[in-house]
C-alpha cells in the first residue's frame, strides 16, 4: 500500500503536532468512528516511533507511517491525505 500526502495537509500536521525534521507520525486503527473502508473503525494519529512499519512516507524529514499490524484496515487501498479547506483539516481518501 502507498501513503501520500498533499503539502497543505503536511503543513496542518506540522502546525497541529508541532512537528520538526526527524519526527515520526503514526496513523493507527482505532475502534469507533466512521470510515469508507471498515465500518466501526477509524484512523487515529499520534507522534510515535515505528516498530514494524508497513507503509511510510517521508516529507520534509518527517516520517509518516502505518504499522504492519494495521494494514488490514485499508483493505488493499492506498491512503491519500488531502486538505479540506472548508473545514480546515486533513481529509482521508482510500483509493
- Domain with 20 in it: 3-94
CATH code at position 42: 2.60.300.12
pLDDT tens per residue, range 25-70:
999 998 666 666 666 668 999 999 999 999 999 999 999 999 999 9
- Report yes or no: 25 and 64 within 8 Å, Cβ to Cβ: yes
CA–CA distance, 19 with 32 (Å, rounded to integer): 27
Q: Tell me the pTM.
A: 0.90
32 backbone φψ class: left, alpha, beta (φ>0; ψ -120 to 50):
left
What is the count of structural domains for the chain?
A: 1
Amino acid at each position: 500500500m502507498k501513503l501520500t500526502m498533499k503539502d497543505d495537509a503536511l503543513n496542518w500536521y506540522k502546525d497541529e503536532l508541532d512537528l520538526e525534521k526527524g519526527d515520526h507520525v503514526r496513523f493507527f486503527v482505532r475502534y469507533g468512528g466512521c470510515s469508507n473502508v471498515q465500518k466501526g473503525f477509524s484512523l487515529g494519529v499520534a507522534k510515535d516511533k515505528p516498530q514494524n512499519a508497513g507503509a511510510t512516507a517521508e516529507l520534509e524529514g518527517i516520517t509518516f507511517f502505518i504499522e504492519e499490524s494495521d494494514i488490514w484496515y485499508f483493505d488493499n487501498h492506498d491512503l491519500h491525505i488531502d486538505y479540506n479547506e472548508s473545514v480546515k483539516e486533513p481529509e482521508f481518501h482510500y483509493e
